[in-house]
Chains A and B, each alone.
Chain A
Amino acid sequence: MLDRLEKVREEGFLRIAEAADRDALEAVRKELTGKKSALQEVLKSLGGLEPEMRKSVGMKSNEVKNMFAEKIQARADELIASASAAEGEIDLTLPGIQVSEGALHPITQMCYDLNDAFRSLGFEIYSEDDISSEKFAFDNLNFAADHPARASMDTYWLEGTEDKRGNERLCLRPHLTGGSVRYLLEHGAPARFVYPGRVYRNETTDARHERAFFQYEALIVDKDISFSSGRVMIETILEKVFGRKVNVRMREGFFPFTEPGYEIDMECLLCGGKGCKACNHAGWIEVMPGGVIHPNVLRAANLDPDVWTGFYTNIGLDRMVMMRYGVDDVRLFHSADLRFLKQFK
């Protein structure tokens, strides 16, 4: 009898070890310890045995039962440790299920990057309306009365107003700078704000020229400040755009609404300043104009130029985005072509 129990144990261990998954193990458990199991049969036959024998067979049976329970538990732990939640075969190289693929326009993305940077410096974000007047687009900004930019070859005037003057001659704004006077008239000085937006020029378009394009302008107005503080704005813009410090240089430039005015060049990122095709072998790329706000502009904003000063920086967003990604045709930005736009997540 004891031999038989030993055989049951041996076979049972084998069966447990052979159980390939948790279902099979459960079946083995029933088979080994269930009502119809060999072990149960042994227990049922206990009554017909000698007391001595009954005692030792009983003990051995319980021992085997306990051993089965332990082995099954151990095997179950083993199986869980090596189990996969996925049934059957799986091709891990198949693409994942795509997330919703909407995106902001790459120019909006750039604009928001810059907004974040400037807000961290305490700048306000302002926006001017698309339609302006000659007064705000030119007169306030110290443009000479016969400055060529005022001509319809350069600026989109509205029908019915093109022959009027000043406040009454309306246009799609040719630049953002007019908005600076609007802001200052409303809020006064000191002021620190950025004003991104789309501007319009009557131009022949090609891969590098557009009729509608985006600018990002920043202005600080305060007392007793030097134009060399303007560099912080410039470096903020470039570091945000390119993700690292970029070498810049300021050089002489001229704009009606600044005095002095300067051009800001950045080191060509392709050649590291050594000179290449992209930078016309100069090592530098002109990226933004800037300058000290002209006294006449401050006067237009009802501010006393003897008290207040400040500086502008203006950056062409289209150009920056083109440099950021290597886009080679500015017209793509207004194409609404999803083959283009879907590339920018």
Chain B
Amino acid sequence: MNISINFLKRYVDLPSDLSYEQLSYDLTMRTVEVEEFIRTADKFHDIVVGEIKEIKPHPNADALKICMTDVGEDEIKQIVCGGSNLVEGHKVCVSKPGAEVVWHGEGEPVLIKETKLRGEKSYGMICAPAEVFLGDLISTKEEREIVDFTELGIECEAGQCVAEVMGLDDVILVVDNKSLSNRPDLWGHYGVAREIAAIYKIPLKELSSELPKGLPEYPVTIEEPERCNRFTATKIDNVCVKESPAWMKTLITNAGMRPINALVDITNFVLLAVGAPQHAYDSTHVDGEEIIVRLAEDGEKLLLLDEKDLDLTHDHLVICDSKKPLNLAGIKGGKDDSVLDSTNSVILECAVFTAPGIRRTTAYFNEKTDSALRYEKGIDTQRADLGVSMALSLFKEIYPECVFSAFTDNYPVKTENAVIDITQEFLDTRLGEVIERSEIEDILTRLGYEVSFADGTYHCIVPTWRSTGDVSIHDDILGDIARLIGYEYFKKQPLPVSFEHSVNQVGTDLARRLKEYLAFRCGMNEIFTYPWIDEKFISAAGIDTESCVKLATPPAPELGCLRASLIPGMLESIDKNSRYFEDFAIFEAAQVFEKGEYSPSSPDEVLPVHKNMLTGAFAGKDAKELFYKVKGVIEGMAGYCHFKPFTFKQKAKPSWADEKVWLNIMEGGRIAGSIGLVSVQALSASGIKLMSAAAFEIDTAVIEPYPSRTNEFKHLPQYPLVEQDLSLLVDEAVTWAEIAEAIKFMVKELKFVEEYRGKQIPAGKKSITLSLKIGNDDSTMTSKQIDKKMNGIIKVLEKKCGAQLR
């Protein structure tokens, strides 16, 4: 919404020393954010009044004239002009060098320079209305007509700024409509003026709410009083379509609407002034001389002013005559029966429609009109009084000869004042300091409350314009008081302290340790992906998209499935990053969803099953190495993150994993997740080329963290251990686990060093190098003892694993 300062000045005298910066700031802090303020005169720089002293023919062009013009400077300027209505001695609009005008009223502004036109010097430009932003205010009969202030009867002097002459020296405060959603009273300048009056403690001018008396009734029937709380109709004869006075056109323009003709402009002016939407019907088009407010029949049609042809349904409220709909109630008029060029008598509607119906209908037809925007915020019925009174006085001013020939006020539902008690104690506590009673009463009264005080309680009668939902509880009044005092004036208060116990959250700590372990110990990068995921990657991971929870209105058709696993996101991320990196490691911790039943807060609320998954992947060239890297990450996880170590088993192959290379991660008897190489199939379906990947996924809910760090301590050996390396030749089928199992009882420590296959190794065999430590508990080993122990170990390996020493 654009708030015009000149418009506001009709209702409140702004303090003379108040800057617009300060006004914007104060409104922002106390009422609503002012996004910017615009000085309308700015675009009129170097556009001034010129007086044509002499008109001479142009020697080289019949259509052009040379105008010797006084622009308020020392010398008379020569300006070449093609205007069709140039008259000597008349005052016109001149753009001097440096001015910016819009050529023929279209496109971007162009900078005016001193130039030559067909060989004749031209100082500047004598302009048509549209060229200097006056198209809406000054109408022309033909294209080449220039602005003629003398002809328009506008008094001015040569050299005077045109903005000033036209009353365009205004300042516009720009406010985002969204930030006014909760304040229906601010949707008119009078409401904003009331806030300003309250902020600066200055008087607010009173508006008349007088309705016509003693006139014949105009028949109005309201069939839906719940949707139309009030309908006033005034028949006004002896009017015509003509231009509005300049002051009104200017204010309407500055407030962001376009002047149309006086009949329509009056309704728009009232809307901008008090926020009461109105509509004027050509009374000769109202069949049967009666108005009926009813629901449309299914299939009924209405052609709107914007040429939109509506198919109405039974949920749409329409204003009808005895035969047909005339108007989509509170939203937009019909084309056939609103003000026409020939109109000489109107029915002026000032009605109050309730918000929910307006919102539904507006959304249904996508008609966000100025009127609908106001109704959908909830308007009090009393506002129609101001609306009618203001409109009729404007009619008298603009059409002195007009006649009010009939009036009806059909008023089935009246907005009741909300009544709220608020105690001094409540205010003192919640505000954090004691505010004087007189101060509180003053603030509330200026905002329109009626306040009385007894027994420590303020009894507040809320003004009707705040009683349509905006103010309904004592907290709302607290808010009004706090904001008008200014939040910046309240002292900072310490936080209340109630340390009953320390904050100890093992689950939260675990989640963080897991992430930090992967990032800092394992060198992986954390990524985020969206919860909706391209079906291509879901299928690539071998997951059935039918099993996924889905969005009703997904961001894109292929993004309808919510993730049931983080693996598809991993695949997509590997694909993206493979363009820039040869090897990398990534992980993500997020929730995934499965069809099922889960009630975190109340049994009535049944959500899909959520799982907190932790998934990671290593991508690179050497598949086996990648697999062992991932395995190492999972093996090390328990120690660094403080929970019981996992074991591995092959129980259920994950859908994304390689045929051979996969393991389930076991927590006790439960499957906590999996590791494995990403299958060739999954890589290929994801478009990942020339790269392998190994991945892990863990359901972190399965992990039970230790209540604190539980790394065990072992006594240091008292006697030195002896370290020996062995290289063994074994059958391919012999596993490390078997080797380790065979000798673990004979050694103090056992480490895998390397596995080797190559030229020196016979087919079907592999070489395993291991490193072990042996020692006595009560003495240093002698070389004899060492030999004996090593021979024993080698024999056991021969016997149990068929191993030969290399």
On A, residues with C-beta under 8 Å from B are 100-105, 107-108, 112, 115, 119, 121-125, 127-133, 135-136, 144-146, 151-152, 156-162, 167-168, 170, 172, 181-182, 185-186, 190, 192, 198, 200, 202, 211-212, 220, 222, 224-229, 231-233, 235, 249-252, 254, 259-263, 280-281, 286, 292, 294-295, 309, 333-339, 341-342
Contact bitstring B580-608, A, C-beta under 8 A = 1, else 0: 11001110001101000000111011111
Q: Is B610 an interface residue (CB 8 A)?
A: yes
24 contacts between A and B (CB under 8 A): A100-B522, A101-B525, A102-B522, A103-B525, A104-B515, A104-B526, A129-B600, A131-B593, A133-B607, A162-B552, A167-B602, A170-B608, A182-B601, A200-B531, A211-B530, A220-B496, A225-B493, A229-B495, A259-B473, A259-B478, A280-B36, A334-B528, A336-B576, A341-B526
**B 463-520 contacts with A by CB, 8 A:** 469, 473, 475-476, 478-480, 482-483, 487-488, 490-499, 503, 505, 508, 512, 515-516, 518-520
Q: Are B549 and A336 in contact (CB under 8 A)?
A: no
Measured in the bound complex, the distance between the Cα atoms of B176 and A263 in whole Å is 14
Q: Are B572 and A259 in contact (CB under 8 A)?
A: no
Cβ contacts under 8 Å, A159 to chain B: 549-552, 560
Measured in the bound complex, the distance between the Cα atoms of B604 and A133 in whole Å is 10
Selecting from B26-34, B228-236, B293-301, B756-764, the interface stretch reads B26-34
Q: Are B591 and A130 in contact (CB under 8 A)?
A: yes
Q: Are B527 and A105 in contact (CB under 8 A)?
A: yes
Q: Are B573 and A339 in contact (CB under 8 A)?
A: no
Query: Which of A152, A220, A224, A262 is within 8 Å of B553, CB to CB?
Result: A152
Measured in the bound complex, the distance between the Cα atoms of B479 and A268 in whole Å is 27
Q: How far is the CB of A53 from chain B (nearest CB, A)?
A: 55
Cβ contacts under 8 Å, A158 to chain B: 549-552, 562, 608
Q: Are B531 and A260 in contact (CB under 8 A)?
A: no
Measured in the bound complex, the distance between the Cα atoms of B339 and A224 in whole Å is 59
Cβ contacts under 8 Å, B456 to chain A: none
Q: Which residue of B lies closest to A111 (CB)?
A: B512
Evaluate whether A309 and B605 lie within 8 angstroms (CB atoms) in the complex, with A295-B475, A336-B527, A336-B529 already known.
no
Q: Are B586 and A338 in contact (CB under 8 A)?
A: yes
Evaluate whether A100 and B521 lie within 8 angstroms (CB atoms) in the complex, with A105-B526, A156-B553, A226-B429 already known.
yes
Evaluate whether A252 and B483 lie within 8 angstroms (CB atoms) in the complex, with A158-B550, A190-B498, A228-B491 already known.
yes
Measured in the bound complex, the distance between the Cα atoms of B554 and A159 in whole Å is 9
Q: Are B499 and A334 in contact (CB under 8 A)?
A: no
Q: Is B430 an interface residue (CB 8 A)?
A: yes
Q: Are A182 and B600 in contact (CB under 8 A)?
A: yes
Evaluate whether A124 and B503 lie within 8 angstroms (CB atoms) in the complex, with A102-B585, A339-B580 already known.
yes
Evaluate whether A186 and B601 lie within 8 angstroms (CB atoms) in the complex, with A103-B526, A157-B551, A228-B493 already known.
yes
Cβ contacts under 8 Å, B205 to chain A: none
Q: Are A228 and B526 in contact (CB under 8 A)?
A: no
Q: Which residue of A lies closest to B478 (CB)?
A: A260
On B, residues with C-beta under 8 Å from A are 28-33, 35-36, 179, 181-183, 356, 359-360, 363, 429-433, 469, 473, 475-476, 478-480, 482-483, 487-488, 490-499, 503, 505, 508, 512, 515-516, 518-531, 549-555, 560, 562, 569, 572-573, 576-577, 580-581, 584-586, 590-591, 593, 600-602, 604-608, 610
Measured in the bound complex, the distance between the Cα atoms of B528 and A333 in whole Å is 7
Q: Are A103 and B519 in contact (CB under 8 A)?
A: yes
Q: Are A119 and B610 in contact (CB under 8 A)?
A: no
Q: Are B492 and A228 in contact (CB under 8 A)?
A: yes
Q: Are B608 and A227 in contact (CB under 8 A)?
A: no
Query: Which of B31, B429, B552, B593 is within 8 Å of A157, CB to CB?
Result: B552
Looking at A250, A252, A294, the one whose CB has the most chain B CB atoms below 10 A away is A252
Q: Are B525 and A122 in contact (CB under 8 A)?
A: no
Q: Are B490 and A102 in contact (CB under 8 A)?
A: no
Which 6 pairs between the two chains have the least Cβ-Cβ distance? A226-B432, A260-B479, A100-B523, A250-B487, A336-B573, A162-B552
Q: Which residue of B lies closest to A129 (CB)?
A: B610
Cβ contacts under 8 Å, A252 to chain B: 28-32, 483, 487
Measured in the bound complex, the distance between the Cα atoms of B452 and A195 in whole Å is 43
Query: Which of A104, A260, A338 is within 8 Å of B580, CB to CB?
Result: A338
Cβ contacts under 8 Å, A202 to chain B: 553, 555
Looking at A105, A160, A228, A229, the one whose CB has the most chain B CB atoms below 10 A away is A228
Q: How far is the CB of A333 from chain B (nearest CB, A)?
A: 6
Q: Are A251 and B30 in contact (CB under 8 A)?
A: yes
Q: Which residue of B lies closest to A151 (CB)?
A: B363
Evaluate whether A309 and B430 lie within 8 angstroms (CB atoms) in the complex, with A159-B560, A185-B601, A259-B476 already known.
yes
Looking at A102, A220, A261, A295, the one whose CB has the most chain B CB atoms below 10 A away is A102
Measured in the bound complex, the distance between the Cα atoms of B490 and A226 in whole Å is 10
Cβ contacts under 8 Å, B483 to chain A: 251-252, 260
Q: How far is the CB of B536 from chain A (nearest CB, A)?
A: 16
Q: Are A130 and B576 in contact (CB under 8 A)?
A: no
Q: Are B429 and A224 in contact (CB under 8 A)?
A: yes
Cβ contacts under 8 Å, A211 to chain B: 530, 555
Q: Are B525 and A338 in contact (CB under 8 A)?
A: yes
Question: Knowing that A105-B527, A158-B608, A252-B30 are A-B contacts, what are 17 other residue pairs whose CB atoms are under 8 Å apart, sorted by A's residue number?
Answer: A104-B526, A107-B528, A108-B515, A122-B503, A129-B607, A131-B608, A133-B607, A144-B469, A186-B601, A202-B555, A211-B555, A220-B496, A224-B429, A252-B29, A260-B478, A337-B576, A342-B525
Cβ contacts under 8 Å, A280 to chain B: 35-36
Cβ contacts under 8 Å, B604 to chain A: 135, 167
Cβ contacts under 8 Å, A129 to chain B: 591, 600, 607, 610
Measured in the bound complex, the distance between the Cα atoms of B480 and A262 in whole Å is 12
